[in-house]
Amino acid sequence: MSTENEGTAVPPAPSAPPVPVDAPASAPGAAPEGHAPTAGAQGPDAGSAPHTSDSPYGPGAPHPEGAPTTQMPSVPAGQQPGAPTAAEAGWPPPAPTMPAYAGGGGAAGVWGASYQQPAPKPKNGRGGLVAAILVAALVAGGVGGGIGYQLAKNTDSSGSTTVSAATTGGDVKHDNGSVASVAARALPSTVTIEAESTNGQGGTGTGFVFDKQGHIITNNHVVADAVDGGKLTATFPNGKKYDAEIIGHAQGYDVAVIKLKNAPSDLKPLALGDSDKISVGDSSIAIGAPFGLSNTVTSGIISAKHRPVASSDGSSGSKSSYMSALQTDASINPGNSGGPLLDAEGAVIGINSAIQSSGSGSGLGGAGGQAGSIGLGFAIPINQAKYVAQQLISTGKPVYAKIGASVSLDETTSGAKITDQGASGSAAVEAGGPADKAGLKPGDVITKLDDTVIDSGPTLIGEIWTHKPGDQVTITYQRGGATHTTTVTLGSRAGDN
């Protein structure tokens, strides 16, 4: 299934209740009561990474395009609707009709956190990011966490009862695990990012402090407009605004790292959690700038793990991003892209990247009819994002794991089929590559990678990109009606091209 990076349409693809606060001693005669007030294109080379947008991808909904195929190396080759197969050339492949990034045109079924700028600036369609789920189209949704408060009930001599707040909001003490407590600690380390191209087009997204040197993590689609000589700024909740520069960006993973110019010395990096240990049902808290509303906090739960999502910004020349995402119902909209998804302890467990939204052109309250949250949001697991960010800071380029074979990007539930031919007439199975050494051939249908069921090419790519080059994986495949297994040592590919 495909989705939109908040803001652009993409084709479909395969609160805690307020914690009662201890009220101060009620007035004489009062009995205190506690009230506890988220068509044939080229198939990508298996072995690349996922997508989504802080400036959530533009309006629109996910709408997968033809079945593309590309080589399975680190980054998939560009894909075009209508083409039956794809090769390794041109990585990552153009995104199928997937959800767009926030800030773009509207389309039904949009994935990803929108990346749209509310200001009356010209937009190029990247305002939002749409992610495409290869399994099911989803959109971020959720309800903001509430803050508990205590009411004191006073009874007068006549027997009537009145209720009043025990204390003002600013004086309420919150438990460490409450949404309010997490938000209070995390907000000072989040920023609203504005990216503008040389022609004035751009959008808004979110990011968070990665280290004390001034590095900020966000989505690739959030800063894409500023890549070639554009302008980039980051604004903290206290109003302080800094110019920034792009250190590195990975289109396939939809991860980018920027650095503040003249960064302050008192930066507080957010603690990073372990996304592998997250369980379905765990609390999740999202921070971002939906539709330009900076410093917005929403909460929900982790709805699912390992959701295969393919996303793009919905533009004609757009390439796809792939991820094995964390799904959350915490409300995510265009502009949330690149912001942190936190656990109940305030540790970052993911980067909000894509949403699935309903309706085309008449989204949930977005400017220009941009679609919004319906409770289906997707985040890049932090374990993967951290690995990518460290690569970008060290070398400026991403590195993708690959198996060295082109797979079909057709929407299917039967598996990832190795195509008969790769991109631009190249071999579908790279000579001497990982797949070749493992005995895989054109026509083989890969159905499992280790214990993960593979239902399509995009699912395989997203799963391979959760691994590192050199990792050994067990692949189960079908050939001639028989089931076989083989061990593949993943190769590597540097860069997005």
Classify the C-alpha dihedral 170-171-176-177 as positive or negative: negative
Residues 109 and 312: beta-carbon distance below 8 Å: no
164: left (phi over 0), alpha (psi -120 to 50) or beta: beta
CA atoms within 13 A on the CB side of 290: 26
Q: Assess whether the previous peptide bond of 92 is cis (omega < 30° from 0).
A: yes
How far CA 41 is from CA of 179, 299, 409, in Å, comes to: 44, 38, 7
The secondary structure of the chain, three-state, reads CEEEEECCCCCCCCCCCCCCCCCCCCCCCEEEEEECCCCECCCEECCCCCCCCECCECCCCCCCCCCCEEECCCCECCCCCCECCCCCCCCCCECCCCCCEEECCCCCCCCCCCCCCCCCCCCCCCEEEEEEECCCCCCCCCECCCCCEEEEEEECCCCCEEEEECCCHHHCCCCCCCHHHHHHHHHHHEEEEEEECCCCCEEEEEEEECCCCCEEEECHHHHHHHCCCCEEEEECCCCCEEEEEEEEEECCCCEEEEEECCCCCCCCCCCECCHHHCCCCCEEEEEECHHHCCCEEEEEEEEEEEEEEEECCCCCCCECEEEEEEEECCCCCCCCECCEEECCCCCEEEEEEEECCCCCCCCCCCHHHCCCCCCCEEEEEHHHHHHHHHHHHHHCCCEEEECCEEEECCCCCCCEEECCCCHHHCCCECCCCHHHHCCCCCCCEEEEECCEECCCHHHHHHHHCCCCCCCEEEEEEEECCEEEEEEEECEEEECCC
Give me the catalytic one of 51, 63, 215, 221. 221
Residue 310 confidence (pLDDT): 87
Residues 61 and 110: beta-carbon distance below 8 Å: yes
Residues 288 and 206: beta-carbon distance below 8 Å: yes
CA atoms within 13 A on the CB side of 381: 26
Give me the catalytic one of 45, 225, 254, 496. 254
Q: Which residues pair with 231 in a beta bridge?
A: 196
Residues 116 and 203: beta-carbon distance below 8 Å: yes
The reply to whether 408 belongs to the active site is: no
- 163: phi then psi, degrees, rounded to nearest 5: -125, 135
Residue 466 CA, distance from chain mean position: 14
Residue 16 confidence (pLDDT): 40
Residue 373 confidence (pLDDT): 78
290: left (phi over 0), alpha (psi -120 to 50) or beta: beta
Report the candidate in 102, 35, 1, 118 with the shortest Cα–Cα distance to residue 331.
Answer: 102
Residue 252 confidence (pLDDT): 93
Residues 321 and 2: beta-carbon distance below 8 Å: no
The reply to whether 420 belongs to the active site is: no
User: pLDDT tens digit string along 349-395?
Assistant: 999 999 887 654 332 233 344 567 788 899 999 999 999 999 999 99
**pLDDT-flagged residues of the chain (< 70):** 1-177, 313-318, 358-371
The reply to whether 221 belongs to the active site is: yes
Mean pLDDT of the chain, nearest integer: 72
Residue 25 confidence (pLDDT): 42
Residue 409 confidence (pLDDT): 87
Give me the catalytic one of 283, 294, 311, 337. 337
How far CA 22 is from CA of 123, 170, 171, 247, in Å, comes to: 49, 14, 12, 47
pTM of full prediction above 0.75: no
Question: How far is the C-alpha of 197 from the C-alpha of 336, rounded, in Å?
Answer: 20
